[in-house]
């Protein structure tokens, strides 16, 4: 039994002269587990994710990521921001390369790996296009390639498809599902899309309204990771879970 990927015990964030943001998050994520966090908007989901990524401090509690306090820029961690954050002056290849360049990978190797990663997201013929010449969906694909190219052990995704239209989002979810099938590490993602959470995660964690605590958690028992997104939506278990999580979040708004 390996170490849990993430252990959070009473993680709090209080700010002077304002209501608390996190009231105490308790959450353990096993190594290799896929967890999705959902909750009312503005409840502190992204804030918690930023803490796991080491980008944001917390005021009380204990947070252990891969056996150590969280720290930004760890080699085995990859963080995909809500907006694609592509650098407009670099072409698609250059943007994916960036993640390897920062780690000091030699030019030849990083170009080859970046090109492979872009091939996996279906952009093999758009390597030299700049972000302004790419559609939103393609930009998000580049961002995904940049996230996966470093072969991370911990994948942190913050609303990866929030900026996309409904149809593109579904196609991107299918793509991510396919990428995740070849991924043996841990994934933690924040989303406001309940269906997306059920589709991509082994476990869905519900955050309460601000100040946030973990108000519920559901194992997704839908034929493990072999599932197909299109079949899943027809599953009665899918609808049952969706309804339940919906109610949980609604209750969060009521209190």
Residues lying near other proteins in the complex (CB under 8 A) are found at 50, 53-55, 72-75, 77-79, 81, 83, 85, 87-90, 98-99, 101-103, 130-133, 156
Looking at the Cβ atoms of 147 and 208, the one nearer to other proteins is 147
Looking at the Cβ atoms of 80 and 205, the one nearer to other proteins is 80
Looking at the Cβ atoms of 3 and 87, the one nearer to other proteins is 87
Looking at the Cβ atoms of 154 and 197, the one nearer to other proteins is 154
Looking at the Cβ atoms of 130 and 227, the one nearer to other proteins is 130
- Cβ 162 to other proteins shortest distance, Å: 13
- Cβ 82 to other proteins shortest distance, Å: 9
- Cβ 63 to other proteins shortest distance, Å: 16
- Cβ 148 to other proteins shortest distance, Å: 13
- Cβ 227 to other proteins shortest distance, Å: 29
The 3-state secondary structure of the chain reads CCCCCEEEEEEEECCCCCCCCEEEEEEEECCCCEEEEECCCCCCHHHHHHHHCCCCCCCEEEEEECCECCCCCCCCEEEECCCCCCCCCCCHHHHHHHHHHHCCCCHHHHHHHHHHHHHHCCCCCCCCCCHHHCCHHHHHHHHHHHHHCCCCCEEEEECCCCCCCHHHHHHHHHHHHHHHHCCCCEEEEECCCHHHHHHHCCEEEEECCCCECEEEEEECCCCHHHCCHHHHCCCHHHHHHHHHHHHHHHHHHHC
């Amino acid at each position: 039994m390996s170490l849990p990927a993430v252990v959070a015990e009473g993680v709090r964030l209080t700010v002077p002269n304002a209501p608390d943001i996190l009231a105490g998050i308790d959450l353990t994520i096993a190594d290799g587990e896929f967890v999705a966090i959902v909750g009312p908007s503005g409840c502190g989901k992204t804030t918690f994710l930023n803490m796991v990524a080491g980008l944001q401090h917390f005021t009380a509690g204990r947070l252990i990521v891969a056996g150590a306090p969280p720290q930004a820029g760890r080699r085995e961690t990859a963080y995909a921001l809500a907006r694609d954050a592509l650098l407009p002056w670099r072409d698609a290849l250059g943007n994916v390369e960036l993640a390897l360049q920062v780690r000091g990978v030699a030019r030849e190797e990083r170009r080859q790996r970046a090109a492979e990663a872009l091939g996996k997201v279906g952009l093999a013929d758009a390597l030299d296009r700049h972000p302004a010449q790419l559609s939103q969906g393609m930009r998000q694909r580049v961002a995904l390639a940049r996230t996966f190219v470093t072969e991370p052990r911990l994948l942190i995704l913050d609303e990866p498809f929030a900026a996309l239209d409904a149809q593109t989002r579904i196609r991107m979810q299918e793509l991510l599902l396919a990428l995740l099938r070849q991924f043996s590490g841990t994934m933690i993602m924040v989303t406001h899309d309940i269906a997306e959470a059920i589709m991509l995660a082994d476990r869905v964690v519900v955050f309460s309204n601000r100040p946030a605590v973990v108000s519920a958690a559901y194992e997704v028992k839908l034929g493990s990771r072999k599932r197909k997104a299109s079949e899943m939506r027809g599953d009665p278990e899918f609808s049952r879970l969706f309804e339940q999580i919906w109610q949980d979040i609604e209750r969060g708004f009521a209190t």
